[in-house]
Structure 1
Amino acid sequence: MTSDVPRNAIVAAFDAAAETYDSATPVQREVARALVSRAASLLTGPPRSILDLGAGAGHVIGFARTQWPEVELTALDAAPAMLRRLRAKFPGVTTIARDARQLEDLPRYDLILSSMMLHWLDDPRAALIAWRAHLAPGGLLCVAAPVEGSLREWRELTRAAGMEDAVWAFPPQDFAEGLGAEIHLSDFSASYPDARAFLRALKDAGAQKHRPGVKPAPASAMRRILTKANRNFNVTYRIGFIALGDS
């Protein structure tokens, strides 16, 4: 997945959403809970160190600290305001403000986690390979990423109106095959009063950047689309849970 959206524009959108992120992301919170639970079930003992890539406002960090109270936690995110929000909620967590592709000088970790961030990178498969290289011996990389099939309700709505949807694209469901990964797909649902509320939630989460190569629908066309979905709008996130060992 090659992006023509500047990386700093994506980061800026999330940075601006730091204060609204928690209230706008109930699905992301449940995915983070499921990711930490899955990691705990795969480990043979408690990890000594955890790195959370794309930590945002701290969904994963919160569940990880509850699961492993004594673990050394490090949160990495490119959006400084998100990290400030995380530190306010979870004092004592080490934070690193940088892109998740820039790990060269970091140590190795017993457990690396990432939730709902991988699809924002140009090459999700290459990112998995690079992240695995930072596992300590016997370490585990666990990732939750939305894949093709996510937000299909919105895509179907826009296409029925003769428009190409501009919501961000997600990697294929099989993008991690061939890496020796354990892969599990699971659907998470979110309900909104109407489609307009869904789009507002995307913005409040910082996830409103359009799909590369596709222009957003004109305002007049968008009004027609939203009029057709003016009540009880539900969307599905298809999440790929990916687990990789250190070799």
Structure 2
Amino acid sequence: MQKIWSSQVHKNFNAAALSYNKSASIQKSTALKLAKICSNHSIKHGLWVDLGSGTGLLAKSLEDLHPNQFVVRLDNSQKMIDQHSEKSVKQLWDLNNGLPKWSKKPNLLASSFVLHWLDKPHEQLKEWLNSLSLDGWIALAIPIKGSFPEWYEAAEKANLTCTALELPSHDSLISVVPSQSILYNKIEVVTQTAEKATSLLKPMIKVGAQGSHKEQLSISEWRHLLSFWPISNKDKQVSLSWSIQFLLIKR
């Protein structure tokens, strides 16, 4: 069952490779913020890897802020990898199989909007931490439990299942990291607004992030759910809020 799920996630992201950057506004801003957080710390040059790089938003942001450091782009979607420049160092790899065996240990493993798509995210994070060089770092940004309260509210009022992806909790991620290793730990709530809820949900499909373990709603069920979406302001706009965990960990 897990293989079927992983295959579907892979298929979705492959299909979205060409349209990804046009619709990935929250992913772009998150990648830039995570790269800026890294730039405030003395991370040694050496092997830096963007885990689940997609089209390279995080890798590029890191390289722009650290001009003398290249970042390996690792992803399991060939079509995503194909979006990178020829000069980039790329590696095709499925993170559900663990990490590759590199010739040296990484000084930075960075990842944005990826860990929640993997099997057992907290166990993956533990493996990433154990694979670092002795003074290596992990830079992580991930949407967590508590995201999409408006979607959950609408589904409850409509008496329908909320088909949003189940996200890991803050506590499940923190539990595998020694407290003294956490140098930055912040949850940011990012709220997107639009005239219609469909305008907030469609970008998820365009970036390949529509996967869910729950049975999908029919068109009529979606219409019913959307009619219960809460109005968020006096302009009669609606919102979708993301809780994004930013973590900087030093081994």
TM-score by length of 1: 0.89
Query: How many aligned positions are there?
Result: 239
Q: CA deviation at 1:155?
A: 1.7
> Residues 55-204 of structure 1: matches in 2 within 5 Å?
55-85=53-83, 87-88=84-85, 91-101=86-96, 102-106=98-102, 107-178=104-175, 179-180=177-178, 181-182=181-182, 183-204=185-206
Q: CA deviation at 1:192?
A: 3.0
CA contact (8 A) 2:59 2:71 kept: yes
Q: Any unmatched runs of 5+ in structure 2?
A: none
Q: Distance in 1 between matches of 2:244 and 2:6?
A: 23
1:218 alignment counterpart: 218
Instruction: Mark the CA change 1:154 to 1:25 in structure 2 (over 3 Å): closer, same or farther.
Output: same
Amino acid aligned to 1:93:
S
Three-state SS of the structure 1 residue aligned to 2:174 is coil
Three-state SS of the structure 2 residue aligned to 1:138 is coil
Q: Distance in 2 between matches of 1:29 and 1:66?
A: 14
Q: Distance in 2 between matches of 1:228 and 1:129?
A: 40
Q: Distance in 1 between matches of 2:15 and 2:195?
A: 24
Q: CA deviation at 1:58?
A: 1.2
Three-state SS of the structure 1 residue aligned to 2:242 is strand
Q: CA deviation at 1:69?
A: 0.9
Q: In percent, how many aligned pairs have the same letter? A: 22
Amino acid aligned to 2:37:
R
Instruction: Mark the CA change 1:198 to 1:52 in structure 2 (over 3 Å): closer, same or farther.
Output: same
Q: CA deviation at 1:114?
A: 0.2
CA contact (8 A) 1:46 1:68 kept: no
Q: CA deviation at 1:6?
A: 2.1
TM-score by length of 2: 0.88
Please list the CA deviations of residues 144-203 of structure 1 after superposition, one character each: whole Å capped at 9, or x if unmatched: 111111112112112211101111110012112231252221112222331112221110
Three-state SS of the structure 2 residue aligned to 1:197 is helix
Three-state SS of the structure 2 residue aligned to 1:10 is helix
Q: CA deviation at 1:23?
A: 1.3
Q: Distance in 2 between matches of 1:4 and 1:166?
A: 20
Q: CA RMSD in A?
A: 2.0
Q: CA deviation at 1:29?
A: 0.8
Q: CA deviation at 1:204?
A: 0.0
Q: Any unmatched runs of 5+ in structure 1?
A: none
CA contact (8 A) 1:112 1:141 kept: yes
CA contact (8 A) 1:36 1:63 kept: yes
